[in-house]
Amino acid sequence: MDSSTERLGDSAGTAAGLWIPARYRHDWALFADWCTATGQPPLPAEPEALALFLREHPAAPTTQRRRVSAINTVHTRHGHPAPGRSETVRRRLDTARATRLDRLAPLLLRKAAELPTTGWPSGLFGRRDALLLTLAATGMSSARLARLRRGDIHVDAGTLVATTESGERFCLRPESGSGASAAVAVYRRWAEILAFLDAYPNTDLLAQHLTDPVEAEQAALTDRQARQPLLPPIDRWGHLPLMPQPMTAQSLAALVRDHLAGRVPARAPLPLRRKGKLDDDPHGRFEIEVYLDPHYYERGVAARRHAHDSLGGLTDVFDEIEARADALLEDLLTVLEEL
């Protein structure tokens, strides 16, 4: 047997055939024994179980980090997601970070609740940004937020659950006594927008829906829809990318900071296409009222008069150029004939 590993196939609480690096042997055995005593599987272990293990086995921060490293290594070497990379465990290991998140989370959720859900395009931006702030309240990094797909979010017994590509779960649970987390309503409002665009990929119709919203049916996502980004960019006119793409991590982080600092400007209402003309005229255009200042036409006439005076002699110039070109051509032909 190699001196750097030990087979623990006969050890209680471990799967047969596990090979554990020697430096992690003691920490893994402690965790496996605790799992056996509490009736939980050590491999794969849930992040909540690891957090409970750390709470019931207090130690110095360096010791706790070493334990988590050992448990993560065993999991990844056997093809399982590392439970120690979850936000639950991170908060247990880094109390300063946990304190900071505990202070920021209520502020983020309050900002999310203040954003508009109707109006064009304010309701569109408000619904997306509300979900962004809500997910940021879990402690999820901007990079993870940027990689979220529509299929990564689901509701489980009133709890909003976001699962990252590495298998890490971030949960927003309901307050005691309430049926569902407020985050569930935030998510469903944005999911309604994406479902509406699945059925009617038309910005004009979306604008009317947000101005006079009606409940839209949200069918189960197809595989293609589930792979689409959850938080796409939106331009100033309310258009989402034709080919789905996510916002960058830098853009998401900047947007969260702007909301916290109150620097996000209010969205001015945009004109809507009149409903009465949509069905009758397939080529209908936006009805936009244009206000001209009293001297608009005078300036236009003066500009055209000036252009007429300035360019009036161009005809003579072009005639002269043409005559000189003809003369040069005649001279060239004469030279060629004499060769």
Fold held by 104-272: hpI Integrase; Chain A (1.10.443)
Distances (CA, A) of 261 to 251, 265, 266: 15, 11, 14
What local confidence, expressed as pLDDT, does residue 14 receive?
42
Does domain 5-93 match CATH 3.20.20.140? no
Q: Within the chain, which residues score under 70 in pLDDT?
A: 1-17, 176-179, 216, 274-292
- Work out the angle between the directed axes of helices 122-136 and 249-261 (0-180°, nearest 10): 100
Sign, CA torsion 216/220/224/226: positive
What local confidence, expressed as pLDDT, does residue 274 receive?
61
Domain boundaries, the chain: 5-93, 104-272
Q: Are 250 and 228 contacting, i.e. CB atoms less than 8 angstroms apart?
A: no
* pLDDT (tens digit per residue) in 180-221: 789 999 999 999 999 999 999 999 999 999 998 777 677 889
What local confidence, expressed as pLDDT, does residue 292 receive?
66
* pLDDT (tens digit per residue) in 113-159: 999 999 999 999 999 999 999 999 998 889 999 999 999 999 988 88
Amino acid occupying residue 91: R
| Phi/psi of residue 333, nearest 5 degrees | -65, -40
Residue 14 is classified by DSSP as S
Amino acid occupying residue 40: Q
* Rounded-to-integer distance, Cα 131 and Cα 256, Å: 11
Q: Which residues of 121-154 are buried (b: 16+ CB within 10 A; e: fewer)?
A: bbbbbbbbbbbbbbbbbbbbebebbbbbbbebbe
What local confidence, expressed as pLDDT, does residue 179 receive?
67
